[in-house]
Each structure stands twice: as C-alpha cells, then as structure tokens.
Chains A and B, each alone.
Chain A
Amino acid sequence: MRILVVEDDKSLGKYIVDGLKQAGHNPDLALDGLEGLGLATQESYDVLIVDRMLPKLDGLAVIQALRTSKKNTPALVLSSLGKVEERVEGLRAGGDDYLSKPFSFDELLARVEALSRRNIHEAEKVRLSVGDLEMNLITRDVTRSGQQIELQNREFRLLEYLMRRPGEVVTRTMLLEGVWDFHFDPQTNLIDAQMSKLRNKIDKGFEKPLIHTIRGAGYKIST
C-alpha cells in the first residue's frame, strides 16, 4: 500500500514511516503542508496520514485543497489537541478518520488499513459471511453452521462491525467509536467484556474460533 505521511516532527515521522515499512507498506514522508499537498496531488496514494498542525499549510487545509480538486484519497488526521470539536472539524474538512497523539502504532496501523478498504465497506450489502458464520442485515438473522444465534442489539452491531472487516485488525477504540459512539475511553477492559460475551455466543461449542484477539492491538474476525 502506498501511504503518504505528512508530519513536521522529523523523528516522529521517521518512526511512523519505519513502522509502516515493517508492516509491509510503502510510505513517503513530507515535512510540511505544501510539500504534502504537492506529493498528494502528483502521486497516487492509497491513504494519507496528515498531522493537524503543519508549517506552511495547515493539515486540514491540505485535505480541503485535495477534496476541491476531486482527489478522494482517504485521509487520517493526527491531532495534538484531542478535543471532540476538533475531531468534528477534521471530519468536516474531508478527513475520514481521526486519531489523537500519542497513539499506539497498532492503533494507527489498524485505522490506516481500515481506511484503505473503506470503499469496500460502503457497498450496500444484504448478507455478510465469515466462514460458516452468516449475517442477514435485513432480517437480522445470525447463523453459524445453520444454527440460529440470538444476539442483542449491541452484540449484533458489534458483530456486524467485525464482519464488515473480515481479516482486519479492529482496535478497541475503533469499536468504542464505531459501535457505541463513545468518543472517550470509559475503561478499556469494558470492550473485552463485551467481546467475551459475543465470543460465548459465536465461538462456544465450535471447533474453530472465528474471533481472535490480537495482542496489544485489538480483535480480528477471520476463518
């Protein structure tokens, strides 16, 4: 995946780039807004990682400029303020996701990978399936190997969130934001409790578990 990192802090930028390389991606680094905008318009990237506060041209201005020239490369905004209204501002300016500093690298990686596959999730699907687990989004039926599974409303949404991203790492904060719309951290282990409840219903009694814990990062659903 080709990724452009626009970050004015050289050292932090280098760490991000190194990490992305290790994960098998192909990142470029730009040190200010103008350079970032130049690279983003000339080259074709899969995802942009843009710091909010940049010299020469503000991060949001970079994204806005790209959007006006009909460049729809998904962008992740890195913020140093971490306030809710800033997040809203970032999304309004055309950013697609938002992460506040400091962050764990796994969180960044999970979000970047989720962004690159964003277009796939947007398709209007009626059925989702992972292995022998099937979900009908209209009748809200969930079956595994033909067996009906009863899920509560939130459990259904949690599973839907995972099943829309098969094989992708989904972090706890992504789940908090995407499923519960909580843009704050109540207590991280709360998500684990929700997940173990869901696991009890999905994986218990079956030979091959579908929901996997990724240490230090989050969860993943896959065969």
Chain B
Amino acid sequence: MFRSFTFRIGAAIFLLLLTLLICLRVFSYLRTVQSEQQNIRQIILAHEDEIEHGIERNGVRYATYLVDALTNEPDDRHLLLAMRSGDVVHGNLKSWPTELLTAMPGWYEQGVNFDYSLKPVDALLFLKKLKGGQSLIVGYDLVRLEQMKQALVSSLIRDVWLSVFSALCLTLFILYLISRHLEKVNDAYRHVMAGEIDFRVKAEVSRDEFAKLGRNFNEMMDWVSSLISTLKDSTNSIAHDLRTPLARIRLRLQQLGQQEGDMSEAQQAALLECIEDIDHLTDIFNGILRIAKAEDLSIARQFEPIDLSVMVHDLAEFYAAYLEGENQGIVLNTTEVAMIVLGERQLLSQAIANLISNASKFSPGQHDIEITLQPSPTKGMIEIVVADRGPGIPAEFREKVKERFYRLDQSRNTPGIGLGLNLADAVVRLHQGKLLLEDNAPGLKSIVLLPEYEGPRQVAG
C-alpha cells in the first residue's frame, strides 16, 4: 500500500496542503501580534511626544501636572508614566526601576511595579532623557497583548486541526477522482488477462488524459485482437494444409509396407523410418499447437477446479510402471488433503508429465525420482516439485532451456524435440503460476508454483 502511486501522491498532496494551510495561519498570527505591538509603540511614542512638547512649551511643572493627570485617568490602567527630575519621581510607578537608572535611552521590555499593582507586570518601556536633564519612562503593560496571544494560539491549534481535516478531505477527494479513472483501465486489463479479449473501457466524452488512456487502451486491444485472429486463422489454415498431405503420405507409406513380397528388408526398414519421421514431425506440430494453445489467454475461461493430489498421484502411478522397467522408482510425497487449483486438466497434466518425463530421461538408472506436492512457503500457492539425480542444468542455462526448441549440448543425443519445458512453462504461466528450475545438488529440481483455488470446493472428476 505504501508503495502504491496513489498513496504516495496522496501523502504528498496532503503534506503540501497541510504545510500551506499551517503556514498561512502562523503568518496571520504573527501579523496580528506584530500590528498590536506596533499599536502599543505608537501609543507610547504619542504620549512621550506630548510630554516632551509640554515641557518645551510650558516648562517642567506643566509636564509633572500632565503626568499626574494622565496616570489618574481611571479607564486606562495600562499606560505607565514616570518622570524623574533629580530624586523626585512622578507618575504611577512604585519606584524607578533600578536597571534603568543608568541605562541608555531606548526600548525595554521588563517587569515593573505599578503603584496599584501587587506584583510586577510585564511592560514595554521607552526611556528618554529630556533636555532639562529629566528622565522619562513611557510604557504600556503587555497584559492585553499576552491575552491576545493566548487566544490566538488556542485558535491557531484549533485551526491546525481544521487544516488537517480539510487537507485530508481534499486529498481523499483528489485520490478518489484519480483512482476511479485508473481503476476503469485497470479493470479492463484484468478482464483481458482473464481471457475476455474483447473487453473494452467504456467510452468517455471528455478529452482529459484519463479518457485518452482509455481510448488508447481500446485501440491497442483492437489491434492486438486483430493480430491474434489473423494469427489464429493462418495457424488453422497452415495446420489444415499440412496435416492432410501428411495423413496422405503416412497412409500411402503404410499401404506400401503392407503389400506382399517384392520388397527387400532394407526397403522395409527405410519405409518404417519414413513413418517414424512423419510421426516425429506430427509430434513437433502438435507440440507447437499445444504451446500456442497454452499461450492463448482465452482458455482461462474454460478453467475448472482440479484436485492436484489426484492428478499427481495418477501421473506418478502411470510413470512408475514404466520406470520399474528402467530400474528407477518414483517416490511420491503428498498428503491426503485435497489441493485445488483452477485450470485446464489436459494442459496441466501434460506440463507435469513433461517434467516427470524429463526427470526420467536425464537421470541415470537406479536413482529414484522424487515428486512432492505441498503448500508452498509462498502464501496462497501450491508447489509440485519434481526432483531427479541427473546431471542437472548449469545455472546460466536455466532460463534458456525454457525457450522453444532450445536443447543443451549434453542432451542432443537423448530423444526429444526441445518443446517439453517450453510447454510446461507456457502452461504454468497460463495458470498464473511459475516454473522454477533449481539445483538439487546433484540433479535438477523443477518446481511448479500454482495459485491455490479459494472458491467453492466442487471438483469435477
């Protein structure tokens, strides 16, 4: 899930949206706080200005009067004023803050004691030396600003949650839109892979990328189907055109052989060889047709539940009688439990038969062939293992031997046409499985992995 594209893009959109929304909130918080601070500074500067001008115009006495008057204002208890000339301090400060006795003029932020307050209050102060030698402090307490900050922070937290929620909603909506469109095409792929080669994506009027994707899919499938049907037609007619003359030749040769007299033994033998060659040709022909069939996905529509334990048992028994004569045995490891897969019976039997046949062909006498049917370590899969003690296949050729007509140099002298593994591989792939060739140290271990059938357990035959 974490590797799915929709999840990743969803997470990215979500984080981006969230960061954006939170940045906006924080920015507006900072702006509000800053403008409030600006306000306070302006109030302070205005008062300072008024007092300074008062002194210039009307003398110190007027200024003291002004300070007293301003600090006695009953409704504004936030303003802080203090003027010191010599040792005399006017204003609403309990005492001149010791830190500011020798300080340079400028802005300060610190706790001070109002004459009416019980404990120090945080305030913003402006210290000014007046021309007459007096020091002036104009300040404003920060109580209101703190309250405002707290209110803002709690609303900020609420807003963050809101942002998370809205970003989530928005992301999910976008994802829904994307995946709905993608799922349409995905669904079409699944149908086609399940053999419905004629399945198409429903046409859309819009001209967006998704509609284009669907249209391209449809066009591609039209093309593929026409290729397949052309191929099928030509294979069928080739099959027909080749098989009838082959049948003719075979019958003709057979009748020749049955004519009494006038043929030497050598001629008879040559005739038999001709017939064998035709049978060999037919084998190749049938093999190729079988593989073509195994590669035709539409066969999947005819799949039925098959009990592999019955099938493997039958095949093992069938080969055991033959191998006895070759001084070989078959060891079958299987349980009584039914192991059901969905498949085409004939193709699957042939694939497994090919593996057993290979094992017997390539392993020297007196070594048993071991066939195991068991649940695979991979969940939901069943494995059939056919193991021999022959020369095995070098690691670098294990993929190559699955190719059509490929034969290892060392096996050129054994009978066969190089289609067995190719067919087995095609059949297993048709059944959504895997054919693995591994080292049996010594020998070869062919492993067929097939998905276990989970559906209703009604097994035919």
Contact = CB atoms under 8 A, between A and B. Distances in A.
A18 interface: yes
Contact of A194 (B244, B255, B318): B318
Nearest to B361: A187
Contacts of B251: 12, 15-16, 19, 102, 105
Interface string A1-43: 0000000010110011011001000000000000000000000
A80 B346 contact: no
A142 B316 CA distance: 24
Contacts of A189: 322
Contact of A193 (B293, B302, B321, B461): B321
Interface string B92-112: 000000000000000000000
B317 interface: yes
B24 to A, nearest CB: 66
B246 A15 contact: no
B289 A82 contact: yes
A190 interface: yes
A67 interface: no
B158 interface: no
A212 interface: no
A184 interface: yes
Given A18-B255, A102-B282, A197 B239 contact: no
A180 B322 contact: no
B346 to A, nearest CB: 5
A81 B236 contact: yes
Nearest to B350: A184
B13 interface: no
B302 A101 contact: no
B239 A81 contact: yes
Contact of B239 (A12, A82, A103): A82
A195 to B, nearest CB: 9
A105 B246 contact: no
B286 A53 contact: no
Interface residues of A, number: 37
A183 interface: yes
Interface in B201-255: 236, 239-240, 243-244, 246-252, 254-255
Given A182-B349, A184-B353, A103 B250 contact: yes
A154 interface: yes
Contacts of B198: none
Contacts of B236: 81
A125 interface: no
Contacts of B345: 181
A183 B346 contact: yes
A81 to B, nearest CB: 5
Nearest to A10: B248
B74 interface: no
B240 A81 contact: yes
A102 B321 contact: no
Given A102-B278, A105-B254, A193 B248 contact: no
A15 B243 contact: no
A16 B250 CA distance: 11
Interface of A: 9, 11-12, 15-16, 18-19, 22, 53, 80-85, 100-105, 152, 154, 180-187, 189-190, 193-194, 196-197
Interface of B: 236, 239-240, 243-244, 246-252, 254-255, 258, 275, 278, 282-283, 285-286, 289-290, 293, 299, 302, 314, 317-319, 321-322, 324-325, 344-347, 349-350, 353, 357, 461
Q: Which 10 A-B pairs have the closest CB atoms?
A: A193-B322, A102-B247, A101-B243, A80-B240, A102-B246, A101-B247, A80-B243, A15-B251, A184-B350, A102-B250
23 contacts: A12-B244, A15-B255, A80-B244, A81-B243, A82-B285, A100-B286, A101-B247, A102-B248, A102-B251, A154-B317, A180-B314, A181-B345, A182-B318, A183-B346, A184-B353, A186-B350, A190-B322, A193-B325, A194-B321, A194-B322, A196-B325, A197-B321, A197-B324
